[in-house]
Amino acid sequence: MSRIFALLCLAASLQGETITAAFSDPSRPGILKLRQSNGSITVRGYSGKDVLIEANPNNKHGKSITRTQEDGNRLTITLDPNSSATIQVPFQTALQLQSSNGSIRVEKVQGEIDVQSSNGSIDVRGAASAVVAHSTNGSINVAFDKVDARRPMSFSSMNGKIDVIFPADLKANLKVQHQRGSLHCDFDLNTNAPGPEIQFKSYNGGVNIRRAQQK
Amino acid sequence: MNCEQVKTELPDFLAGSLNPPAQARVQDHLDACPDCSELAGLWDKLGAIPDELPSPRLRANFHEMLARETAAPKRAPAWIWQAVAAAVIAVMGFAAGRSIPREQSTELRDIRDMLALSLLQQQSASDRLKGISYTYQANKDDAQIRDALLEALNTDSSVDVRLAAVDALRRMSAQQGISDSLERPQSPLVQIALIDAVVELNETKSVAVLQKLQAASDVDELVKQRARQALGQLRSKGTL
């Protein structure tokens, strides 16, 4: 299988920097991978084809080194461990984001979102496919515009609160396991209804599953 | 139309290449026969797997699986091998025209297991969750499925997939693997799910690990509490 290394770019500057990276096949949805230690990450969907990365240096040298590597429509971004970044991606991009201490925010991205944080909060707005989210100590807030009716999802947290808003016409099989926190759900639980299975697991935080207000 | 005839027609039916009366006859049978309709559903799902580039590990697994199948020749209808070939092509983007041996043994369950195993290798966490949900239909003592779930539990990048793997392994009563996994560094929520599982499965061999956990300095306080509580629960079950 031939591997394509379409892009390898390296850049550094003393100020905040903007870097443009491209997917090797923009006609198919790409995958964006990012693992960050301390900075906050915002990823926003937009109508362009490229990925625009704005990294704000946050360390004492005021220096940020951003690297991107593309392989088979999968773009891996490496940031300075302490810098925050705002990244714009094509709407259909799938995201795989991990952060240790920073918060993660995703807006208007319609591909599948796989997001994890140890100590930061997770905030997803305008999701339109499947979301798989875990935070050990941070809260998880997710709002869906629509849901892909075939894809399972899962939301889990040890100490954070999980709050998810689904479209009013959601057809899914919701399963909740919670130990200590409260539970509120606008939908029927554990119905074994046809549709994807959506799991919620919380140990210490509460679970809040809400129906979106009709527009 | 009987089941055997339907199975022969199924690949063409799903491709929509039968003539309309034949298409309708197969559809009538599928509406009436749960077995055939499940089979048709599986076929559909195989087709729905996104065609990503296969990882080397996936390829190795498939070769292994094919080798195992070819090593145990029994009679089976040729369409099943067409199904396997279609799955291999659909799932892995393998070049068409590979020579797939005919007259080999495999069953509905094997196709479903293969679907579960291949989904577990996908890039997408949602696909891997789907793969885990398919393992609920596998035999509880299927070693290959159990190993794939253990691998997910111990190596998957997504905590949510690891949590789903714990539940699936619980159903398979994989005490040993669950207990072994407690010795590895894990996300605290997964550690708690593992402790719940060893208590439910009454795994007394975990006592040493639980004692280590509750005394460890680098373990989450809530996990330590749960480990202590679990030791008490195992004791009161009379297993200590």
Q: Is the pLDDT of residue B75 over 80?
A: no
Task: Give the pLDDT of residue A69.
Answer: 95
Task: Give the pLDDT of residue B42.
Answer: 74
Q: Which residues contact B124 (CB under 8 A, 6 or more apart)?
A: A94, A112, A114, A130, B50
Distances (CA, A) of A62 to A16, A52, A58, A94: 9, 20, 6, 31
Please give the share of chain B, as a percent, with pLDDT higher than 70: 70
Q: Is B225 on the interface with A (CB under 8 A)?
A: no
Return the axis-axis angle of helices B188-200 and B207-215, rounded to nearest 10°.
150
Average pLDDT for residues A174-196, to the nearest whole number?
87
Task: Give the pLDDT of residue A73.
Answer: 95
DSSP state, A121?
Answer: -
Q: What average pLDDT does the structure give for chain B?
A: 79
- Which helix (DSSP H) or strand (DSSP E) does residue B120 occupy? none
Task: Give the pLDDT of residue B74.
Answer: 46
Confidence grade of residue B4 (pLDDT, cut at 50, 70, 90): confident
pTM, rounded to two decimals: 0.76
Mutation pick from B120, B134, B160, B218 vs chain A, by most beta carbons of A within 10 Å, is B160
Determine the Cα–Cα distance for residues B10 and B34; give it in Å rounded to an integer: 14
Confidence grade of residue A15 (pLDDT, cut at 50, 70, 90): low
| Phi, psi of A72, rounded to the nearest 5 degrees | 60, 45
Q: How far is A114 from chain B (nearest CA, A)?
A: 7
Strands lying side by side in the sheet with A5-13: A5-13, A64-71, A74-78, A31-36, A94-99, A113-117, A131-135, A153-157, A197-202, A173-178
Q: Which of A128, A56, A65 is nearest to A95 (CA)?
A: A128
DSSP state, A53?
Answer: E
Q: How does pLDDT run across A48-81, given as a tens digit for each residue?
A: 999 999 988 765 666 667 899 999 999 999 998 8
CB-facing half-sphere around the CA of A53: CA atoms within 13 A: 29
Q: Which two tokens stand for residue A30?
A: 């790409």
> Considering only residues 164 to 223 of chain B, which have any Cβ-Cβ distance to chain A shorter than 8 Å?
164, 187-189, 192-193, 220, 222
Among A37-46, B96-105, B151-160, the least confident range: B96-105
Among A23-27, A182-186, B232-236, the least confident range: B232-236
Q: Is the pLDDT of residue A187 over 80?
A: yes
Task: Give the pLDDT of residue A80.
Answer: 86
Q: Is the model more confident about B72 or about A123?
A: A123
Confidence grade of residue A188 (pLDDT, cut at 50, 70, 90): confident
